[in-house]
Structure 1
Amino acid sequence: MDLLDDTIVPEHARDVKQEAREFADEHIAPNAEEYFENAEYPWDVLEAGMDAGLVAQDIGEEYGGRGFDLQQMLAINEEFYRADAGIALTLMLASFGCEIVEQYGSEDQKEEYLRPVAENDQISGLAVSEPQTGSDMAGMTTEAEKTDDGYVLDGEKYWVGNAVEADWLTVYAKTGESEDRYSNYSMFIVPTDAEGYEAEHIPEKMGMRASKQGHIVFDGCEVPEENLIGTEGGGFYMLADFFNHGRVVVGGHGLGLAAAAIEETYEFVHDREAFGRNIADFQATQHTLAEMRMEFEAARALNWRAAEKVQNGEDAGFWAAVCKTKSTETATECSERGMQLHGGRSILSERRIARVFRDARIPVIYEGANEIQRNLIYRQWT
């Protein structure tokens, strides 16, 4: 059973999808249980992904990457997340925020910061959310005060991937007080060794335990003026565009997780007997599996349609929100149904379905909670 077949995938993305599948089978899946249990950062798998040319390669060829487009990134994420979501998230976050620098940054910024990430000498991160503010991008309170020498950052950021591990971050901070709350924010490049930057890991999560998020405190953290990305006041709009692409990829996170749940459940019910019969022979089991498969196929068709729409700039906000919501919720539904068909064994932590169930609860929240996505869907539809 190959739920993630490439017949729906554009031809130019099929080779890298196969690369990702082979890498996932060799390096991610065999290490999934171990890293889920020990909750350590999977440096060895990350380095293997770098060696395989599958980490940070959405950066353009002119800056050392392979220039993967949105459809190629979706193809990679389907495969990685099917194998294990925690390790997959670590691999994907190694270049998080680089797209903003590549699209809006100066040539000097691209050479200094993008190239080392593309060449796998550094890793990056993106700091947006705060301890008291998640999806409200126009409600963040971390400030960047203009000085004669640049900017001074004060405030906190939360849920930041690679907050401890990264060499530098793109940071979203408030720079204005105008009535237009959406024009009060800017983006900055902040090296993690800058004075006034302090970060620590967030306590262990219920899922995606191989990926590390952190809590950052900026206390008089100075950055030079040349670390401002683009123009002051443009940060909100940069992020809005960035998240349109990101939400299509997060839809791929959901598809990979849903595929894992279906595959694991299908295998289990065909190997398990109850009441003198194979569990798969019960009509209730067959109907549940049929529902899982239908929802998965609908989500995947929608996600790949959205990838094309967003890549072509056609109603990008609408399609990004639709596919992210549908695919991630399909993952939660499939994993929950899979848990039920596994019965009592579903609660054993070493069971793959239990890990998928925990992991699937997370993408419905990141890149904008799905409740916010429904607001966007309605507003951009009407």
Structure 2
Amino acid sequence: MELLEDSLVPEEAHGIKAEAREFAAEHIEPNARECFQRGEYPWEILEAGQEAGLVAQDIPEEYGGRGLALSEILAMAEEFYRADAGIALTLQLASFGCEIIYEYGDEDQKEEYLRPVAEGDQISGLAVSEPDTGSDLAGMETTATKEGDEYVLDGEKYWIGNGVEGDWITVYARTGDDEDNRYGNHSVFIVPTDIDGYEAEHIPEKMGFRASKQAHITFDGARIPAENLVGHEGNGFMMLADFFNHGRIVVAGHGLGLAAAAIEEAWEFVHDREQFGRTIADFQSVQHDLADMLLEFESARSLVWRACGKVQDGQNPGYWAAMAKTKATETATQNAELGMQLHGGRSVLDERRIARVYRDVRIPVIYEGANAIQRNLIYRQA
């Protein structure tokens, strides 16, 4: 049974999908259990991904990348996340925030910051969420105050991928306080992580995605040159809105990969294990559970790939991105739940892949905008 077959995937993404599958089989799957249990940043696998040209390659060719399209990034995501979500997220986040730079940055910013990431010499990050604010982009309180030819950053960011490991991060900060235009009060900045006033520490261990590390960042009078402003003041919200449309399609790929992993594990287990003189798969209720898993998976995958085309073509992208992200990540949670049930008592063993999948699926329903927020977007843009 080949769940992630190519028929729904545009032809231009077939090549990169095959590369991703081969890489996942060689580097991700054999290390998934150990990386999950150790909960350490998988530097060696990241370096292998950089050498294979599978990390940060959405960056345009003129800045050292391969200029991969959204469909190609989605194709990689479903293959990587099927193998292991934590390692996959580390590979993806190595260039997080770069899309904002190549879409809105000036030529000096692109050359200085994008090329080292594309060539594997640096890694980036994106700092948006805060300790008390996640989904309300207009409510973020970290400030960037203009003083002469510098901006001074004060505040906190939370759940930031590569906040510790990154060489630089893009930071979403408040630059205005217009109550009549709450969507025009924020801007985006490039912030090197080695400046004074920047402190980051890893967030304590998570229940899932343990091979991916997130940070709590504190800015205390951190100064950056005014030239590190991306675009212009007050345009941060609109930048992120566009960025998240693409990001949510990729997160939908996270859900597809995890949902596929849950089906694979459940299918193999019930066909191998015997109870009452026959395999578990011979019981009709088990067959119905597997049928439900397949139904939800195929429905989600069809929607996601349709949505990918809509977002690439700019056809109501916020609506389609929200639909895809919500459906795929919730399908992953449903399939993982059924997979655990079909494994019985063995589902709780740490060594079991289904146990890792079950922990991991709880996270994509939250990041890139919690699914309750996605439902708001779906309704408003319908």
TM range (shorter): over 0.9
Aligned equivalent of 1:52: 52
SS for the counterpart of 2:338 is: helix
Aligned equivalent of 2:212: 211
For 1:335 and 1:273, locate their aligned partners in 2 and report how far apart those are by CA, in whole Å.
21
1:80 deviates by 0.2
Aligned equivalent of 1:371: 372
For 2:243 and 2:204, locate their aligned partners in 1 and report how far apart those are by CA, in whole Å.
28
1:253 deviates by 0.1
Aligned equivalent of 1:147: 147
Aligned equivalent of 1:360: 361
Aligned equivalent of 2:89: 89
SS for the counterpart of 1:25 is: helix
SS for the counterpart of 2:217 is: strand
For 1:288 and 1:299, locate their aligned partners in 2 and report how far apart those are by CA, in whole Å.
17
Matched, 1:221 2:222: yes
For 2:200 and 2:16, locate their aligned partners in 1 and report how far apart those are by CA, in whole Å.
35
For 1:54 and 1:277, locate their aligned partners in 2 and report how far apart those are by CA, in whole Å.
44
For 1:45 and 1:224, locate their aligned partners in 2 and report how far apart those are by CA, in whole Å.
34
For 1:116 and 1:130, locate their aligned partners in 2 and report how far apart those are by CA, in whole Å.
28
Give 1:84's aligned amino acid: D
Give 2:332's aligned amino acid: A
Query: What does 1:258-277 align with in structure 2 at a 5 Å threshold?
Result: 258-277=259-278
Deviation by residue 1:133-187 (Cα, 9 ceiling, x = unmatched): 0010001000000110220000000000000000000000000011210000000
1:277 deviates by 1.4
Aligned equivalent of 1:295: 296
Give 2:43's aligned amino acid: W
For 2:54 and 2:243, locate their aligned partners in 1 and report how far apart those are by CA, in whole Å.
20
Aligned equivalent of 1:194: 195
Aligned equivalent of 2:159: 159
Aligned equivalent of 2:25: 25
Aligned equivalent of 1:108: 108
Give 2:84's aligned amino acid: D
The percent of aligned pairs where both chains have the same amino acid is 73
1:276 deviates by 1.5
Q: May I ask how many residue pairs the two structures share in their alignment?
A: 381
Aligned equivalent of 2:2: 2
Matched, 1:68 2:68: yes
SS for the counterpart of 2:5 is: coil
For 2:109 and 2:148, locate their aligned partners in 1 and report how far apart those are by CA, in whole Å.
20
Query: What does 1:330-341 align with in structure 2 at a 5 Å threshold?
Result: 330-341=331-342
1:112 deviates by 0.3
Aligned equivalent of 1:246: 247
For 2:191 and 2:291, locate their aligned partners in 1 and report how far apart those are by CA, in whole Å.
49
Give 1:366's aligned amino acid: Y
SS for the counterpart of 1:199 is: strand
Give the structure-1-normalised TM-score. 0.99
1:26 deviates by 0.3
For 1:311 and 1:194, locate their aligned partners in 2 and report how far apart those are by CA, in whole Å.
37
SS for the counterpart of 1:164 is: coil
For 2:250 and 2:195, locate their aligned partners in 1 and report how far apart those are by CA, in whole Å.
31
Deviation by residue 1:170-221 (Cα, 9 ceiling, x = unmatched): 0000000112100000000000001100000000000000000000000000
Matched, 1:172 2:166: no
Aligned equivalent of 1:350: 351
Give 1:347's aligned amino acid: V
For 1:97 and 1:297, locate their aligned partners in 2 and report how far apart those are by CA, in whole Å.
31
- Structure 2: runs of 5+ lacking an equivalent: none
For 2:311 and 2:189, locate their aligned partners in 1 and report how far apart those are by CA, in whole Å.
25
Deviation by residue 1:320-369 (Cα, 9 ceiling, x = unmatched): 00000000000000000000000000000100000000001100000000
Give 1:273's aligned amino acid: E
SS for the counterpart of 1:130 is: coil
For 2:58 and 2:174, locate their aligned partners in 1 and report how far apart those are by CA, in whole Å.
28
Aligned equivalent of 1:120: 120
Give 2:64's aligned amino acid: G
SS for the counterpart of 2:262 is: helix
Aligned equivalent of 1:185: 186
Aligned equivalent of 2:305: 304
Give 1:35's aligned amino acid: C
- Structure 1: runs of 5+ lacking an equivalent: none
For 1:73 and 1:110, locate their aligned partners in 2 and report how far apart those are by CA, in whole Å.
20
SS for the counterpart of 2:177 is: coil
Give 1:123's aligned amino acid: I
For 1:5 and 1:232, locate their aligned partners in 2 and report how far apart those are by CA, in whole Å.
45
SS for the counterpart of 1:158 is: strand
Aligned equivalent of 1:16: 16
Which contiguous aligned blocks of 4+ residues in structure 1 show a shift greater than 6 angstroms? none
For 1:158 and 1:197, locate their aligned partners in 2 and report how far apart those are by CA, in whole Å.
13
Root mean square deviation of aligned Cα: 0.4
For 2:33 and 2:267, locate their aligned partners in 1 and report how far apart those are by CA, in whole Å.
20
For 2:350 and 2:365, locate their aligned partners in 1 and report how far apart those are by CA, in whole Å.
22
1:275 deviates by 1.4
For 1:306 and 1:150, locate their aligned partners in 2 and report how far apart those are by CA, in whole Å.
41
SS for the counterpart of 2:220 is: strand
Deviation by residue 1:266-312 (Cα, 9 ceiling, x = unmatched): 00000001111110000000000000000000000000000000000
